[in-house]
């Protein structure tokens, strides 16, 4: 009799468990007062009776557990990083204890272009969410104050931190080739899906719990399948996946990007070359004299990338295959650079098993040392009942939300409307993705902006970056 009274409110045909709390029986109120463990047990029992074939999720929540904002389902542990596009926090699901990374982008001061970048990033992440090479989006939502992205948490940090740790020292040759191959496959996957990353740099490459590389931060990425193609300016057919909007970080930007010319997949491969050079030598291939915060540093760097030849030092200790590949990657003329498939076929990668790299059958060299550190920190924070506190903004009413499709979720803490999203196209590693006929073209009306971040240490405001970039363009034209 007692069990039937407990289960009675739950054995209704309503799949969403929407119970009118104003007419709850005293028994239900007593069960609620007994705490979450009893509620979880009751829910599991009732779920098994209603859907015996459905797996029981430990993260199942009750109507009275639903907070006013999705963030209240999570515990904020610490700040992971901060950049020009937002702040990233380490958070933990209060019920499942699973760790996630939360990126918050403030809407304060956003113009229409900034909003479009945030919406575009969400669409691109949704499209690529089922791949282990690209940042895994778990949920996204927004309120009147911020955009929120919940992604998988990668405890290994980023490649920039790893390069700084080994700055001035040469890594093992085979490990360099494996990591270069993983990065190249990530770029190929984006290009196969008609996406230019446009900001590939060590700070945007994460390391997962098995030491593998994950390409992240698609805020500046351009999905050419999301806009209709446009004709070339000369009236002919434009090159597939071509744009002229200047985006990226100057140290990893190609000559054509810095010159304001139309560019395509070769710009991502140039950035790959810069990262490969840093892995092999521990230094930057091109440099500018002076203070990185000075007025002429950005112009001098741009001039060096566009005009200076690649110089090797005896301390680099490079073999002939390494030097040959780097020389080809840093050709000033786009048509002289190798395609992605030609890079994979180069002698530098002669001992690389591309299928094994794609399946990630072996752990990487840079395994995170303390994978349980975050869980320990979260447990300590829970015991103290203190820690960081995030203050979300006011939520939209259902009929007021300007972007209802932005709410997306694969976790139970965030409810999202059912929607269909484009799935990523798997890459055929035997074909040249740069010549795919499925690529679409067109010049996108992005305003020029260049993220100036000297090795990730000097973040600058967007308006400052726009002025600096426009100054370079003006001096170049003069």
Mean pLDDT of 49-71: 48
Averaged over 264-290, what is the pLDDT?
A: 93
Residue 307 confidence (pLDDT): 94
What pLDDT is recorded for position 465? 42
Task: Give the model's pLDDT for residue 377.
Answer: 52
In which band, very low, low, confident or very high, does the pLDDT at 475 lie, cut at 50, 70 and 90?
A: very low
> Is a pLDDT exceeding 60 seen at residue 233?
no
pLDDT of residue 15: 43
Q: What is the pLDDT of residues 322-333, one digit of tens each?
A: 999 999 999 999
% of the chain residues with pLDDT over 90: 48
Architecture of domain 159-367+427-477: Orthogonal Bundle (1.10)
Q: Is the pTM of this model over 0.85?
A: no
User: 371 vs 252, which has greater pLDDT?
Assistant: 252
The whole-number pLDDT of residue 230 equals 52
| pLDDT band for position 382 (cuts 50, 70, 90) | low
* pLDDT reading at 337 higher than 70: yes
Catalytic-residue membership of 199: yes
Per-residue pLDDT band at 203 (split at 50, 70, 90): very high
Active-site option among 199, 208, 268, 446? 199
Amino acid 385: pLDDT: 45
- Report pLDDT for 291: 78
- pLDDT given at position 205: 96
- Compute the average pLDDT of residues 229-237: 49
Give the chain as a 3 state SS string: CHHHHHHCCCCCCCCCCCCCHHHCCHHHHHHHHCCHHHHHHHHHHHHHHHCCCCCCCCCCCCHHHCCCCHHHHEEEEEEEEECCCCEEEEEEECCCCCEEEEEEEECCCCCHHHHHHHHHHHHHHHHCCCCCCECCEEEEEECCCEEEEEEECCCCCEHHHHHHHCCCCCCCHHHHHHHHHHHHHHHHHHHHCCEECCCCCHHHEEECCCCCEEECCCCCCEECCCCCCCCCCCCCCCCCCCECCCCCCHHHCCHHHHCCCCECHHHHHHHHHHHHHHHHHCCCCCCCCCCCCCCCHHHHHHHHHHHCCCCCCHHHCCCHHHHHHHHHHCCCCHHHCCCHHHHHCCHHHCCCCHHHHHHCCCCCCCCCCCCCHHHHHHHHHHHHCCCCCCCCCCCCCCCCCCCHHHCEECCCCCCCCCCCCCCCCCCCCCCCHHHCCCCCCCCCCCCCCCCCCHHHCCCCCHHHHHHHHHHHHHHHHC
Average pLDDT for 107-112: 91
Q: Please check the confidence at residue 342 and state whether its pLDDT lies above 60.
A: yes
Residue 26 has pLDDT above 60, yes or no: no
58 pLDDT above the threshold of 50: no
Residue 450 confidence (pLDDT): 34
**pLDDT at residue 171 tops 90:** no
> Between these two residues, 336 and 473, which has the higher pLDDT value?
336
Q: Say which residue, 83 or 51, is predicted with more confidence.
A: 83
More confident residue, 290 or 347: 347
Q: What is the pLDDT of residues 417-469, one digit of tens each?
A: 554 555 666 666 554 444 333 333 333 233 333 333 333 333 333 433 433 44
Q: Does pLDDT of 37 surpass 50?
A: no
pLDDT at residue 473, rounded to an integer: 42
Lowest mean pLDDT among 114-128, 238-252, 280-294, 371-385: 371-385
**What are 394-417's pLDDT values in tens digits?**
999 888 999 999 999 988 666 665
Q: What is the pLDDT of residue 387?
A: 60
- 220 or 172, which is more confident? 220
Above 90 in pLDDT, residue 271? yes
Residue 424 or residue 299, greater confidence: 299
Looking at residue 240, its pLDDT comes to 76
Q: Domain 70-155+369-409 is in which class?
A: alpha beta
Task: Determine the pLDDT at residue 388.
Answer: 80
Domain ranges of the chain: 2-65, 70-155+369-409, 159-367+427-477
Higher pLDDT, 444 or 76: 76
Mean pLDDT over each residue of the chain, to the nearest integer? 75
């Amino acid at each position: 009799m007692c069990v039937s009274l407990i289960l009675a409110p739950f054995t209704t045909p309503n799949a969403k468990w929407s119970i009118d709390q104003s007419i709850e029986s005293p028994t239900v109120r007593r069960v609620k007062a007994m705490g979450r463990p009893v509620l979880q047990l009751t829910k599991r029992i009732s779920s098994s009776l209603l859907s015996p074939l459905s797996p029981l999720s430990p993260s199942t929540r009750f109507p009275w557990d639903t907070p006013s904002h999705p963030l209240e389902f999570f515990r904020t542990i610490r700040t992971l990083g901060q950049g020009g596009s937002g702040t990233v926090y380490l958070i933990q699901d209060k019920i499942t204890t699973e760790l996630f990374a939360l990126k918050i982008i403030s809407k304060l001061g956003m113009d229409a272009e900034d909003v479009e970048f945030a919406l575009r990033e969400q669409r691109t992440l949704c499209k690529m969410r089922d791949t282990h090479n690209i940042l895994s989006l778990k949920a996204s939502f927004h309120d009147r104050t911020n955009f929120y992205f919940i992604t998988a948490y990668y405890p290994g940090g980023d490649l920039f931190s790893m390069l700084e740790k080994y700055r001035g020292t040469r890594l093992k040759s085979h490990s360099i080739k494996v990591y270069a191959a993983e990065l190249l496959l990530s770029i190929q996957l984006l290009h196969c899906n008609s996406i230019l990353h446009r900001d590939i740099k060590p700070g945007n490459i994460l390391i997962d719990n098995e030491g593998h590389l994950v390409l992240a931060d698609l805020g500046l990425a351009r999905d050419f399948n999301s806009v209709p193609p446009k004709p070339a300016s000369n009236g002919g057919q434009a090159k597939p996946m071509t744009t002229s909007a200047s985006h990226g970080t100057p140290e990893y930007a190609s000559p054509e990007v810095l010159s304001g010319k139309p560019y395509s997949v070769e710009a991502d491969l140039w950035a790959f070359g810069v990262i490969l050079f840093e892995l092999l030598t521990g230094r930057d291939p091109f440099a500018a004299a002076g203070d990185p915060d000075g007025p002429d540093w950005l112009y001098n760097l741009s001039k060096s990338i566009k005009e200076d030849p690649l110089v090797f030092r005896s301390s680099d200790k490079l073999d002939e295959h390494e030097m040959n590949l780097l020389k080809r990657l840093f050709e000033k003329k786009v048509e002289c650079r190798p395609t992605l498939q030609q890079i994979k076929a180069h002698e530098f990668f002669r001992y690389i098993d591309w299928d094994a790299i794609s399946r990630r059958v072996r752990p990487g060299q840079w395994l995170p040392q303390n994978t349980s550190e975050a869980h320990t920190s979260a447990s300590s924070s829970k015991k103290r009942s203190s820690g960081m506190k995030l203050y979300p903004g006011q939520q939209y009413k259902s009929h007021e939300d300007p972007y209802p499709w932005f709410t997306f979720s694969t976790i139970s803490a965030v409810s999202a409307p059912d929607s269909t999203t484009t799935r990523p196209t798997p890459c055929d590693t035997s074909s040249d993705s740069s010549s795919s006929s499925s690529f679409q073209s067109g010049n996108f009306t992005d305003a020029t902006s260049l993220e100036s971040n000297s090795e990730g240490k000097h973040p600058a405001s967007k308006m400052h970056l726009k002025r600096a970039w426009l100054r370079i363009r003006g001096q170049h034209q003069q």
